[in-house]
Structures are given as C-alpha cells and as structure tokens.
Structure 1
Amino acid sequence: MHNDLVAALDIGGTKIAGALVDGSGRILVRAQRPTPAREDGETVMRAVQAVLGELAASPLWLHTTAVGIGSAGPVDASAGTVSPVNIPGWRGFPLVDQVRAAVGGLPVELVGDGVAITAAEHWQGAARGYDDALCMVVSTGVGGGLVLGGKLHPGPTGNAGHIGHISVDLDGDLCPCGGRGCVERIASGPNIARRAVETGWRPGPDGDTSAAAVAAAATAGDPVAVASFERAAQALAAGIAATATLVEIHIAVIGGGVAGAGDVLFTPLRRALRDYATLSFVQDLVVAPARTGTDAGLLGAAAAASPALRGETAASLNG
C-alpha cells in the first residue's frame, strides 16, 4: 500500500534532488539533476521541472497528495519565493507558484533547508521523541531550525532557528550577512580552515586546506588545528546555550560536513556548553550528531509538507 505519498524536493547550489516518500519515511522513487546555478532563473526552473517530471512518470505518482520543498535560502514561505545565495538567477523567484503549476495544483509547502533538516531529524533522526529541539547544519554555512511544543516551528517566512546569524562575539569579524561576530563567521567549515591557516597551521604535501583536512590534523593532535575547532565549538556552544535559554530546547542536533569531524568537535562543544548553559532549566541539554544523513533534506521536505506525517510524529511523542 502506498497511500498518501509526498513528493519532496531538496534544492541546493550543487544538485536538485527529488523523491516520493511514504508515511514511514521510506524513499520509494528518486530523481536528481545538477543545479545549473550559473544560469538564468528559468534554466534552473527547467531542472526542477525535469526532476518533477521524472517523479511524475512513476505509477506511484497517482498517490501523491502534496509537494514539500526544502531550499537553500533565504526563502520567504509566506510569499512562496526563494533567493538562494548560491543560485544568483533566483532572486524573489516564485518557486511555489511554479512548482504548483508543474504538479497540477497539488498543495506545495516551502521551507528553508535548515528547517527541512530539522523536520527530518524530528521525524526520523536524533530529535525523535523530543518536543523541543534545535537542529543545526554546520557546513559551508551554519543553518538551523526549531521544534517547539512537539511541532516544527518554521516561523512566518520559514527561517526561524537560523542560529548561524546569532552574534556570539560583539567585537568579532564582520559577517557577509552584515552582522558582526556571527556563529557562522567562526564555526562554518571555511572559517574553521581560515582561522587555522591564519594562526599558523600548514597543510600536508597535498596542499589541502579544507576543514576536513584541519579536522584530520586535529585528530592527529596538531595544536593549532585543535585550537581552531575549539574556537568553533565555543561559538556553537554560545549560540546553542542562547537558544536554549530563550525557548527551552532539550536537545541540540548537529549535522553537516563539520559534524563529521566527530570528537574533535563534539568533545570541546560539550565542555564549552557546560560553561554557557548554566541555568537550572538548560543544564541537562543534550547534544547529539544528526542521524538522517544525506537524505535529510528530502525527508524533511516531505515531513514539512505533510500534516499527516507531522501528526504521526506528534502522536508518537504524546503516546
């Protein structure tokens, strides 16, 4: 039985992925195209339409009841538009209207990619069973989303929980967003690598200066690489503690490429959190790595689009 499937789209600067997802989180059909990110907006939309067309060619499409979109941001869910930083051809692009037209008028739900990953982790991942959670993506940027009272809390425009642009250093570097000392400016992969190089770390013979290379060096005990990850962990801890103090989350889930560093990140993060999350109602805050992996965007887009999926999650929490 494949009743009430949801079509999910995960749109980023590198690829546009699509899937048909059932009520237990199984991906039944997949489609994918490279994102023509350097092209004009209509060319990018044609790639989206090609993914939807491939999904629609499946006999299972007849059971599709809604479409969920998780997109790189900024997004404006209230207007149905997207302006992804890494897709210059889309500025205020009416993605919801275009997708709705392409799928014959099915309901379409748009959220930012951080909110999508939060929906995935709450439904199928490390935040399952928690009524109040912050889920983060620490990668090229730092994004996130919130679950409050057992429900996804995307906010009016779909951007609530965007922890990467909480300021944690009043005298810190200017951030491209216009703020100063943002979590992202300290804890994203490129900024971890930048700080390591600026403070004297040197790559190996292959010349790799990525955050993954810094993580490998830190794992091997390089003190400068270790210090760069400790600085990132401190910034993350400050942002997580601020969020927990504000809205009383009980778990912070961290995914993305930087989370793949493992103990090099999580050990100093948990240590720093003890220094920042000191009030009685946040002292038991759990920090955990994400579990939904590379399918998080698709699973989260599906969960965000389907009241049935969200209802099942709430029932499992409250049952």
Structure 2
Amino acid sequence: MNGPRVLAVDIGGTKFAAAVIDEDGTVCARAEEAIAGADPAEVLGRVIAATDPAGVVAAGIGTAGPLDRARGTVSPVNIPAWRDFPLAATVGDRLPGVPVVMAGDAQCMALGEWWRGTARDRAGALLGIVVSTGIGGGVVLDGRPHLGPTGNAGHIGHITVDPRGEPCPCGAVGCVETFASGPAMVRWAAGQGWTLPPGSPADARSLAAAARAGDEVAQAAFDRAAEALATGLLTTAALFDLDRVVVGGGVAAAGDTLLAPIRRALLARDGMAFLRRLRVEPSTLGRDAGLFGAAALARLHAPGA
C-alpha cells in the first residue's frame, strides 16, 4: 500500500460501487452491488462497509444527477426513492471526521481519465463525455474538475446545436442529446425505415452492429449523431481551449463507428488554429473511470492537499 488511502463511491442508475484507493491508484479493496429491488440506502451502506474504509483520509462520490453540491443532496432520475437525498451526509455518517465531497458521474469520469486513464500524461484541459441513454460531461482544467457553483457544470448533452430541432426533456430544443443519445439515434433510424433483425433489442448496440454491417440508415444515424457531438465539442473547446476529449459510455462502445465520423466532422470545422490540436480518444478505464475520478476528487479535498 502506498501513502494515504481514500474512499471512492460510484452511484449509478443500476448499481453502486465503492473502493479504497491509495495515492498511486492501487485499488486496495472494492465492492459492487446492483440496486434492483433493494433499498438504495441499504445497498450504499453494504458496499461501503465491504471495503473496510477505516483509516481513509477523505471520501469522494461520483453520482448520477441532478445534484446539489452545496447541500450535499442528489435526486437521480433512475432512483425514484432518492429525491433531495442527503448523500454526502449519509456517507459522512459512516466516516466521522473525514471530509466528503461529491460531483457528477460524468465529471468523475473525466477526472478519472485525467488521473489514471487515456489522458494520464496530464492534458491541461480535458473534456470527458459519456454517450449513453443520455449525454453527460465534465471538464478538467489543470488537474482540477470545473464543477460550477451548483456542481452541474459540463452538461454538454444540453448544448443547443439546432435551434429549430426537437424538444428535449430538459426544456430546450435541439440539444446534442436529441441527436446523439442512444435512444435518440435508434428513434431517428427507425423513422428512416431501419428495421431490427428478428430477436434483436432496439438499442444502440444493435444499431452499431447494423452500421458496421453496412446498413446505410444505421450509418447515417451515427453520422448525424457525430455531427451534433462535433458541434458541441467545438463549442466547448472554443470556451475552454481543450487539449483532449475522452469519450465513454454505452454508445461509445461502438468505437470507430462513432469516433471516426466525430473526428471527420471536427476536421471539417476546426477553422481556428488552436482547435486543430484537439484529440478525441476512447475511454481506457471503462466502467472504472468514475471510481478513479471519485478517488482523485477525494484526494483534492484531503487534509493537507
């Protein structure tokens, strides 16, 4: 074991995970449990206890949102039992005297990639995005996450890319998410005549398989999503002078079926010289990115940090 240890907690829509991680990124203990049919607070308690967190110097939490960092509360869309749930205090009660800090799951994904993943060569300005049922994001600037006053910075999925586009559940229209989330891509493809092979689920995985097999409508769905994502990425890059974009999430598992058209769209639009250095890469940490990000977040708030 190397140096002081921290507790990392990852609150997802279907499972909770926790780990004790040292300053070199070594996972000393880890636990994970699905929350289907169980009391989420009880699951949280069990996964934390299973890591034996005695002696940790800080705790970091990456959570599905919305969240309110100032109050330490969360209201995850996929966990109806938690509305304004005091997540930070609940974790803190199990770790008396230990600082507890939380951020969005996509923000922790970005920080995890900066610390231990693709961008561990320490990109000065990194955007991590999660392309899945929704689209989330997080920005890391000079090694620190940019969380914003409420903790909700980085929502690239809700950048408007078409003012005359479809309504988005967030209340705006033409958001990146209405083009590039998994359900949005499948819905558009179905409207263009794409049909599933018998027995296949109507999801982004099936759409990606069809695109790789040469289905023109499926390919067009990925190209359309890539155009919207590229617009959002360039907007964010222009604001933050980004070096790197790391892409994770279920839809991103399509690999170059999604990443290649994003890169082409960026090359076609990066008119300003400083934007041409922007690199787009897949996540190398996968589902562990959030845990490593939560650990890095905790380290930033540990005593003496």
Quick check: 1:215 aligned with 2:242?
no
1:30 aligned residue: 30
**Alignment partner for residue 189 of structure 2, among 172, 177, 196?**
196
- Provide the aligned length of Structure 1 versus Structure 2: 303
Determine if the alignment matches structure 1 residue 252 to structure 2 residue 245. yes
**Structure-2 separation of matches of 1:53 and 1:47:** 10
Q: CA contact under 8 A between 1:11 and 1:17: conserved in structure 2?
A: yes
CA distance in 2, matches of 1:207, 1:298: 32
Which residue is 1:85 aligned to? 77
The 1:211–1:284 alpha-carbon spacing in structure 2 relative to 1, beyond 3 Å, is: same
Q: Quick check: 2:75–2:85 contact (8 Å CA) kept in 1?
A: yes
* Equivalent residues of 1:83, 1:91 under 8 A apart: yes
* Equivalent residues of 1:73, 1:85 under 8 A apart: yes
Write the deviation string for residues 113-154 of structure 1: whole angstroms up to 9, x where unpaired. 011101100001122220111110101110010012332212
Between 150-159 and 8-17, the greater mean CA deviation after superposition: 150-159
Structure 2 residue aligned with 1:45, among 41, 58, 67? 41
> What corresponds to 1:143 in structure 2?
136
Q: What does residue 106 of structure 1 align with? A: 98
Q: For 1:33 and 1:269, how far apart are their aligned partners in 2?
A: 35
Mapped to 1, the partners of 2:115 and 2:301 lie a distance apart of: 12
The letter for the 1-side match of 2:78 is N
Question: Secondary structure in 1 aligned to 2:54?
Answer: helix
Are the equivalent residues in 2 in contact too, given 1:80–1:110 (CA < 8 A)? yes
Q: Distance in 1 between matches of 2:155 and 2:301?
A: 26
In structure 1, list runs of 5 or more residues that go unmatched.
313-319
Query: What is the rounded CA distance, in whole Å, between the counterparts of 1:282 and 1:3 in structure 2?
Result: 39
Give the residue type in structure 2 aligned to 1:110. M
CA offsets, 1:48-98, max 9 Å, x none? Answer: 111112222xxxx33311111100011111211111111111111111111
Preserved CA contact (<8 Å) 1:12 1:35: no
Report the Cα distance in structure 2 between the residues aligned to 1:11 and 1:81, rounded to whole angstroms. Answer: 13
How far residue 195 of structure 1 moved from its aligned partner, in angstroms, is 1.0
Q: CA, structure 1 residues 181+243, in 2 after alignment: closer, same or farther (shift >3 Å)?
A: same
Which letter does structure 2 place at the counterpart of 1:212? R
Partners of 1:122 and 1:294 in 2: how far apart?
Answer: 15
Relative to the length of structure 2, the TM-score reads: 0.95
Q: Which position in structure 2 is the counterpart of 1:301?
A: 294
| Deviations, residues 252-280 of structure 1 (Å, cap 9, x unaligned) | 11111111111211111111112333212
Deviation of 1:159 (Å): 1.8
- Identity of paired residues, percent? 48
Q: How far 1:11 moved relative to its partner?
A: 0.6
Gaps of 5+ in 2: none
TM-superposed CA distance for 1:2, in Å, is 4.3
Shift of the alpha carbon at 1:307? 2.1
Structure 2 contact 108–294 (Cα < 8 Å) conserved? yes
Aligned residue for 1:32, secondary structure, equals strand
Distance in 2 (CA, whole Å) between partners of 1:5 and 1:149 is 23
In structure 2, what is the equivalent of residue 185 of structure 1? Answer: 178
Give the equivalent residue in structure 1 for 2:260: 267
Q: Is the 8 A contact 2:7 2:19 kept in 1?
A: yes
Letter in 1 for 2:278: L
SS in 2 for 1:10: strand
- Superposition deviation, residue 34 in structure 1: 1.7
Give the 3-state SS of the residue equivalent to 1:200 in structure 2.
coil
The residue matched to 1:93 in structure 2 has which SS?
Answer: coil
Root mean square deviation of aligned Cα = 1.7
State which of 63, 72, 93 in structure 2 corresponds to 1:71: 63
> Deviation per CA, 1:34-54, whole angstroms, max 9, x where unpaired?
224x77xxx321211111122
Q: Distance in 2 between matches of 1:180 and 1:117?
A: 26
Matched residue of 2:277: which SS? coil
AA of the residue aligned to 1:34: A
Partner AA of 1:98 in structure 2 = T
Change (3 A) 1:308 1:158: closer
| Preserved CA contact (<8 Å) 2:101 2:301 | no
